[in-house]
Amino acid sequence: MRVASLSSYDIRFPTSRELDGSDAMNPDPDYSAAYVVLRADDGSEGHGFTFTIGRGNEVCRAAVDALAPLIIGGDLSDLGGLSRRLTHDSQLRWLGPEKGVMHLATAAVINAAWDLVATAARKPLWAFLSDMPPDELVDLVDWRYLTDALTPGAARDLLVDAAPGRASRAEHIREVGYPAYTTSAGWLGYPDEKIRHLAHQAVADGFRQIKLKVGADQADDVRRFALARAAVGPGIRIAVDANQRWDVPAAIGWMTALAPYDPWWIEEPTSPDDILGHAAIRRALAKSGPDGGPIRVATGEHVANRVVFKQLLQADAIDFVQLDACRVAGVNENIAILLLAAAYGKPVCPHAGGVGLCEAVQHLSFFDYVAVSGRLDDRVIEYVDHLHEHFIDPVVIERGAYRAPSAPGFSTRMRPESLVRYAYPEGAAWS
């Protein structure tokens, strides 16, 4: 199969009207997707997208259109080669390299290609990847800039070691699902009573971890954390997320003030580019927990590419790897990040939420468990209860866990009526 055509869409949801998704850095997001439909020469389709929060989504769409000449005619039996063709184009590479708008757009295109191929194979993407031989998985990765940390040979060994347990882990995860945590309780714009109610409800729904947004006002954060802790009790993990709001000293000071309430991790304490800053924060908080244990550090949703993840791991700067299905260049680069995390023994706890990120990223975690790390300990996928109704194969959460997707593809297809209604600026939702 070869790619015959590419169509792009600017899709936006007016989420800022309810303060859903509000945090210290992003007070009024309109969750949006630069959305791609690829058609193969046999008529089959693949859908993918990248996520933005409103203004500038048209820039991502333009970047998608700039990639179209590179992918049309591309061979869908070689998605490693096809993805390198997109990221290595010398003129477009100048706009990154491998970061920013071009990289977001590349994610949308590559994810659509994977949806097409997995759909054609009649398998959910996670199972399609989990059935691939180790050598083929290794060939999907762009190894440039990684080999000082992980060689293709070492990655192959890791996958070969995990191969005998694939079938039993696939069976297990189909039965129990993949653990989730919820961010829906803790948006910064929510009043105290709503946080208390939603935190309590999350535990009743089976979640063992919740997350609160922090970073705008320290006294408010102490009060909100205290009431959330009182609502859920001591046995539930509460992570906090500053969305890059702080300098390094402020992160350390602020987290020291929140420490009595037992934060499980601090997410994005500072700039996603600041590897040494994350390492300094992690070192400073290593004994700051209420029992003298660590306050752990997590980041990844804005980490530009596999090279920055490599350095975060080499510098021992993070405890949790929060890859994102659409920030780096799609499935291929995320396989590189899963392999790096497994090699360094760090749990992957993907970023999700937004629009469609839960639908997409679940496939990467299920694949990680079955074929890469083989582990579930301390691993959770973020869950946010927004906008799933726009997808043909929405996520299913039961008792605090993602059920294994069973429909063919990447779960990235929006309903045709949503693509019409939320098209920006002409759709009925915006008129």
Give whichever of 10 and 324 is closer to Mg ion, judged by the CB atom: 324
Binding footprint of Mg ion, residue count (CB under 5 A): 1
Tracing tokens 């602020």 back to the chain, one arrives at 254
Give whichever of 140 and 266 is closer to Mg ion, judged by the CB atom: 266
Exposure letters 127-163 (e unless 16+ CB within 10 A, then b): bbbbebebeebbbbbbeeebeebbeeeebbebbeebe
Least distance in Å: CB of 349 to Mg ion? 11
Q: Which residue is nearest to Mg ion (CB)?
A: 241
CA 331 centroid distance within chain: 11
- Sort 345 into a burial class: Cβ within 10 Å, 0-12 / 13-18 / 19+: exposed
Give the interface segment with Mg ion, choosing from 38-46, 198-206, 241-249, 364-372 (CB under 5 A). Answer: 241-249
Least distance in Å: CB of 100 to Mg ion? 19
Exposure letters 9-40 (e unless 16+ CB within 10 A, then b): bbbbbebbeeebbbbbbeeebbbbbbbbbbbb
Alpha-carbon distance of 318 to 298, in angstroms, equals 6
Alpha-carbon distance of 428 to 9, in angstroms, equals 15
Least distance in Å: CB of 13 to Mg ion? 18
Give the interface segment with Mg ion, choosing from 14-22, 91-99, 239-247, 361-369 (CB under 5 A). Answer: 239-247
Q: Among 427, 429, 296, which Cα is nearest to 9's?
A: 427
Beta bridge partners of 39: 5, 45
Give whichever of 269 and 408 is closer to Mg ion, judged by the CB atom: 269
Give whichever of 8 and 243 is closer to Mg ion, judged by the CB atom: 243
Least distance in Å: CB of 351 to Mg ion? 6
Build a one-symbol-per-residue string for 71-110: x at contacts with Mg ion by CB under 5 A, - elsewhere: ----------------------------------------
Let me know: does 161 contact 153? Beta carbons within 8 Å: no
Q: Which amino acid makes up residue 77?
A: S
Q: Which residues between 111 and 130 bind Mg ion (CB under 5 A)?
A: none
Alpha-carbon distance of 116 to 120, in angstroms, equals 6
Determine, following the binding rule CB under 5 A, whether residue 324 of this chain makes contact with Mg ion.
no
Give whichever of 232 and 266 is closer to Mg ion, judged by the CB atom: 266
Give the interface segment with Mg ion, choosing from 157-165, 233-241, 287-295, 335-343 (CB under 5 A). Answer: 233-241
Least distance in Å: CB of 268 to Mg ion? 6
Give the interface segment with Mg ion, choosing from 59-67, 190-198, 238-246, 373-381 (CB under 5 A). Answer: 238-246
Determine, following the binding rule CB under 5 A, whether residue 241 of this chain makes contact with Mg ion.
yes
Least distance in Å: CB of 240 to Mg ion? 10
Give whichever of 179 and 300 is closer to Mg ion, judged by the CB atom: 300
Which of the residues are catalytic?
Answer: 213, 351
Give the interface segment with Mg ion, choosing from 100-108, 143-151, 240-248, 289-297 (CB under 5 A). Answer: 240-248
Alpha-carbon distance of 330 to 279, in angstroms, equals 27
Sheet with 45-52, strands from edge to edge, namely 3-12, 32-40, 45-52
Chain residues that interact with Mg ion, rule: CB under 5 A: 241
